[in-house]
Amino acid sequence: MKILAVIVAVVCLAGQASGTPVAGTWRAQFDGRTFVTLELESANGTVTGLISLGDIEVDKQGALSRVSEPKRKPTPIFDVSQTGSTLRFAVKDGNDTDQFELRVLDAGRAELRMLLADQVVKELAAEGVPVPKPFALTRQVKD
C-alpha cells in the first residue's frame, strides 16, 4: 500500500512539472474589440497553435490607446517553448518574425508580452514610441 501511495505522488508531481496548462482559446479585448485571439493545443508535451493579431496604438506609457480587429487569417506559431507557466513562441509577419511570451496567471487569465529586440526598442524610442505593456488575455469557456 505504501508503494502505491509513493507511485501516485510521483505521478502527480510529474504532471505538475510539465508546466501550467495553456491549451484553449485566449482573447484580448480593448474597448469591446477583440484584437488578439490565441488558440493553443497541447498533445504529448508539445504545444501548437494559431494567433490572430490586430493593429495597436499605445500612449506615452505603453498602455493601449487604440486597437483594430485582426484583418488576416490566423497565423501558425512556431519555436514554442514552455517553462512552468510561461510559453514563448514566434510568429511570422511578412518578412519579419515576431517573438511573444504568454504568462498564465491562473486558469482563466494570462498576459501576452511582445518581445522586442534591443535595436527595435531603440528605434521605437527614437520615434517617441514606448514599448507596449503586456496585453491581458482571458481563456474562453467552451459552451
Written as tens digits, the pLDDT of the chain (143 aa) is 344 333 333 333 333 334 678 999 999 999 999 999 999 999 988 999 999 999 999 999 999 999 999 988 899 999 999 999 999 999 998 898 999 999 999 989 999 999 999 999 999 999 999 999 999 999 997 75
Specify the pTM: 0.81
The C-alpha R_g of the chain, in whole angstroms, comes to 18
Q: Shortest CA distance to 26 belongs to which of 89, 96, 84?
A: 89
Neighbours of 22 (CB within 10 A): 22
- Which residues have C-beta within 8 Å of that of residue 126, sequence separation ≥ 6? none
Strand partners, 43: 46
| Structural class in CATH, domain 20-139 | mainly beta
